[in-house]
Structure formats: structure tokens, C-alpha cells
Amino acid sequence: MIRFHPTSRALAGFAEGLIAPNESLVVSAHCDMCHSCRNKVKTMAESVAQAYLSEPSQTSNAVDNELANMFDAIVSRPEIEIRSKRTSADFRKTVKVNGKSFTVPQSLQRYAASMGSWSQLIGKLWQAPVMIGGKNLANFIYMEKGGSVPEHTHIGNELTLVIDGTFSDGLNAYETGDFIALSTSDTHTPAANMHEGCLVFSIIDEPLHFTSGWAKLINPLSHLYFKVSTKN
């Protein structure tokens, strides 16, 4: 059961094409998996369109210009098809890692098709980079049972979508479809303890900052890694 969703403000911004591309991508993928948010976005988009069309104080040319700008903003964000029902055909692309295969939401399929090779990081943690443009760093991350990311906080923002499986981080327990937005005020330790492990898609706009144990030794190098990764 999906328990964590984008805020109403984020959904409204997505419906109007006003949020940043990286956030739009993760919100779009969440809506692929969440019937409730998908319907909210549909209603919001219809309301915005109706408001533009019915505004009496604007001239016809001004309305046309506003609609054109809104259309440009919408088509520039990750595509999301709003439908009341999804079929298995909407989840065609699979991600394979460590002998397992996972389906991905429609909005992430083109990224899954062109992602980089999987690399094993520490212990039971795997990562495959995805180039999404700009300065943001995106990855598919797979945690085997017992796998975890060392405790860390965030220099910037982190957006994560749980694609398959469950994990906990000391703040909450997350399940398939959950949308997670963290900022500089959050410190957590993601860990997967279920047999099937957990696959997530994550975007950060600044390096992580590790806060405990040996992982703190990585911090002087994390900014270099972040820069190199985003230039490829």
C-alpha cells in the first residue's frame, strides 16, 4: 500500500508544468504507480485549463499566449499519460540486477533502457547511473536483503521512488510506489531487510554527507564523484 505521496503543492506544480524537471520526473513516475495521485493531477490539469479558458479579464491573444506557455511547459516535462486504469503493457521495460528482474514505471522506461552498468558499492548495495541532464545525479539503486546505505544527511535535496520492495531508514518504512522527498534537515540510514531486496530510483542535486563511522572518510571524495558523474 502506497503511504507516501508528493505534496498537494508538488502535484499542482506538476499539473501546471511549473516544477523542476528532476522533481517532475519522479512525480510522474509516482503517478504511474499511484491511482490516487494520477486522478488528482488529472483534476488539477483540467481545472487549470478551464480557468485559462474562462478568464474574462484577459484578451484573446493573452489567453492564447498563456495556454501556449502552459503547453510548452507540460510537453517539456517527463511524459505522463493520465488514465483511470493501467494494463501490463504500460510496464514493459525491466531492470535486471543480481539475478533479479524488476518492472519500471512508464515514465522511467526510457531511462532504464539507457542506464549505465551496475556496480557493487559497499556490501549488498548496487548502483546504476542514469543521465537526466542538468546538474542532478540520478541512479537506480538496489539493496539486497541486509544491504544498507551508511547514515547520511543531505547537502541538497534527495527525491526517491520505491520501484519494488520495501526498506526502512530510521525515519519511516517505505513500500512499492512510495515517494520520498528529503532535504538538508533529514538524516537517515536506508536499509532493506526483506528477502526480495528493494529497487529505488533516486535523484540528488548535491552530494550526500555521511555522518557516522568509516563512511565519513568518503566525504572529501564525494564532491569529486558527484562532478564526474554528472559530466558523463
Residue 228's pLDDT is what?
A: 40
- pLDDT at position 232, please? 41
Angle at the Cα of 17 (from 11 to 19), degrees rounded to 5?
65
Q: Domain 89-231 sits in which CATH superfamily?
A: Jelly Rolls (2.60.120.10)
Residue 86 has pLDDT above 50, yes or no: no
pTM: 0.78
Selected residue with higher pLDDT from 34 and 226: 34
Lowest mean pLDDT among 78-92, 99-113, 199-213: 78-92
> Where in the sequence of the chain do the CATH 2.60.120.10 domains occur?
89-231
Judge whether residue 173 has pLDDT over 80: yes
Question: What is the side-by-side order of every strand in the sheet holding 137-143?
Answer: 119-120, 125-130, 137-143, 198-204, 158-165, 179-182
Candidates 160, 192, 159; CA nearest to 173 is 192
